[in-house]
Amino acid sequence: MTNLEKFFTALNTLRANTECTVNGDILTENNFNNNIEWNTGVDGEMAITTKTNPHSEITWTKVKAEMDKLWLILVAVMEVVFVANENRIINKEYFNILWNCCNY
């Protein structure tokens, strides 16, 4: 899972169907404050955007916490897959499929 995938998953967890455009990565509060254009409406066929976050329920602290949860889940899954492989609970082919999914 890429950092942007984690960001958008975290965003959707905090507020479903929030529309924005990200320019660059979102790894820091500075990125969060400067690399996002939030969609606030539509004028004809053009999106109306703002660099100022219009959603009080979405903060860097909350987004970062959700992204960290996703990282912890990924690490836990990778550990289970690794242990299952070491203990011969799953075969090598299945291990490789799961491992590759975790390292996407």
Higher confidence at residue 19 or residue 93? 19
Full domain range(s) for residue 86: 3-102
At 42-101, the pLDDT tens digits run 999 999 999 999 999 999 999 999 998 877 666 666 677 677 767 666 667 766 666 666
Count how many domains the chain has: 1
Amino acid 99: pLDDT: 63
Residues 6+ apart with CB under 8 A from 13: 66
Instruction: Band the pLDDT of 11: cuts 50, 70, 90.
Output: very high
| Residue 104 pLDDT > 60 | no
pTM, entire model: 0.70
| Residue 103 pLDDT > 60 | no
* DSSP secondary structure string for all residues of the chain: --HHHHHHHHHHHHSTT--EEE-S---SHHHHHHSEEEEEEEETTEEEEESS---TT--HHHHHHHHHHHHHHHHHHHHHHHHHHHTTSS-HHHHHHHHHHHT-
